[in-house]
Amino acid sequence: MKKVVLLVVILLSFTIALFLSQKESKTSSDIPTVTVSTFALYDIAKYVGGPTVDVEMVIPFGVEVHSFEPTPKTIVSIQKSSLFFYSGADLEPWIIKLAQGDNMRDMSKFVDLRAVKKACKEHKKEGHHHHTHGAFDPHYWLDIGNMRLLTQKIALAFVKMDGMNEAHYVKRAAVYMDELSKLNQAYKKRLQNCQVREVVLHHNVLGYVAAAYDFNVAPLTGLSPDALADAQTMTRLSTTIKEKGIKVLFFEAFVSDRLMRNLAKENEVELDYLEPLANITADQAASGMRYTEGMYSNLDKLVHAMRCE
């Protein structure tokens, strides 16, 4: 009798475990997967989606966005995802290799793009083709106003994809945009009164920030991080450093600091780095770094470099 009871208990336990496993598997598979190309878009989608959306970066953390090339596995992940958000504005030239699907969203169509007077030229060195940009500055996610527009569009896309959780997406989007409003106020306040209103950096990721908060940018290589700098440009920047009283130069994460380090050494000034926030390192991702965190870090460094009150 005891053996029979024990057998019944075992079978019952197994049945319950199997039922729960199947239920969990079904719940997990019901969560839509959304893919994104850059960290700024990832941060929005991850926050607005919360636990009801599985958000994946197709460009691995720690990889420079301009030099990324998708693998067949990456392409399959994009095609299978419910939505794929990418920056556009020529930031990801590999997009043209993909078959245009209904899930693809070029987010540059929903923001205010900054036109540039002259497109970056193409350069070739040692057989490598360097990435170029077109007539618009692609670093639009560093404009906080554009981040608000992106948040609204992503939240709307989530509602269309999963109307049952509309209230959830609307609420989380509102919280995210409130964080952006506070960030914007911090930039306005802290960059209002500065002794220096010029920033020298490797490539121009700060065009939108400079336009929004009224300072100038003197880049070494324009919009493309892998463009070549000539001796004339180095001389011109040295003159700017002396004339403007600049004490800090910047390079960007994921970009070699060699040229800027030489320029800083020659002019006896500091060198620091900025977060371009197109991507972040694997360690930063593991620590849960947010877009606003990177932007506040950049703000602290700009305040120091421009000697703001």
Q: For residues 251 and 272, give the distance between their C-alpha atoms in angstroms, rounded to a whole number.
A: 7
Instruction: Note the pLDDT of residue 118.
Output: 52
Q: Which residue has the higher pLDDT, 252 or 100?
A: 252
Distance CA 148, CA 112 (A): 11
Q: What is the secondary structure of 272-304 as a DSSP string? A: EEE---S---HHHHHTT--HHHHHHHHHHHHHH
Q: What is the CATH number of the domain that holds 276?
A: 3.40.50.1980
Q: What is the pLDDT of residue 212?
A: 97
The verdict on 89 and 107 lying in the same domain is yes
Eight-class DSSP state of 90: T
The residue among 170, 186, 202 that closes a domain is 186
Tell me the torsion sign for CA atoms 36, 40, 45, 50: positive
* One domain for residues 195 and 153: no
Q: Is the pLDDT of residue 25 over 50?
A: no
Residue 137 belongs to a domain: yes
pLDDT top residue among 157 and 117: 157
Last residue of a domain, one of 156, 171, 186: 186
pLDDT at 299 over 80: yes
Q: What is the spatial distance between Cα 89 and Cα 133, in angstroms, rounded to a whole number?
A: 8
Which residues, other chains included, contact 99 with Cβ-Cβ below 8 Å and sequence gap of 6+?
79
**136: Cβ contacts below 8 Å, ≥ 6 apart:** 89, 90, 108, 113, 114, 115, 116
Query: Which structural domain, as residue segments, surrounds residue 66?
Result: 31-186
- Tell me the per-residue pLDDT of 203-246, one tens digit each, with 9 for 90 and over: 889 999 999 999 999 999 866 665 667 788 899 999 999 999 99
